[in-house]
Amino acid sequence: MSEDNACSLANKKCVPCHGGIPAFSKEEANKYLIELGNKWEINNHGHSFKKYTFKNFVDAMEFANTITQVAEYEGHHPDLNISWGSCGVEIWTHKIEGLSESDFILAAKIDNLS
């Protein structure tokens, strides 16, 4: 993946979803997943997911707290799973119960934090 593609996603703004639009097809989601790169995957629920690893619990928690600032600013909130040495990030658009471009934008922004 080129760094320019990830940067272009990270430079966009998440758009609030009010429903009424279709979730990405598997093909569309995979296209964005490839553009995003950096070990993101689509999990069994059809959500984007990445696990970040850290040296200890405190570093994982600090990373999660930094994500909250970005999520609030973007108005798009991931599910976080913090445990010793890791922070799992799961993103999807709740209103459409699937993936949209904003999910990949938020993922790119979170990657820029690490």
Quick check: helix, strand or coil at residue 60? helix
As its CATH architecture, domain 3-11+24-111 has: 2-Layer Sandwich (3.30)
Sequence spans of domains, the chain: 3-11+24-111
pLDDT tens sequence across 41-76: 999 899 999 999 999 999 999 999 999 999 999 989
pLDDT of residue 1: 37
Asked whether the predicted pLDDT for residue 6 surpasses 60, the reply is no
Strands, E, within the chain: which ranges? 41-42, 48-53, 79-83, 86-91
Cα dihedral 41→43→48→54 (10° resolution): -70
Asked whether the predicted pLDDT for residue 19 surpasses 70, the reply is no
pLDDT of residue 15: 67
d(CA 67, CA 10): 14
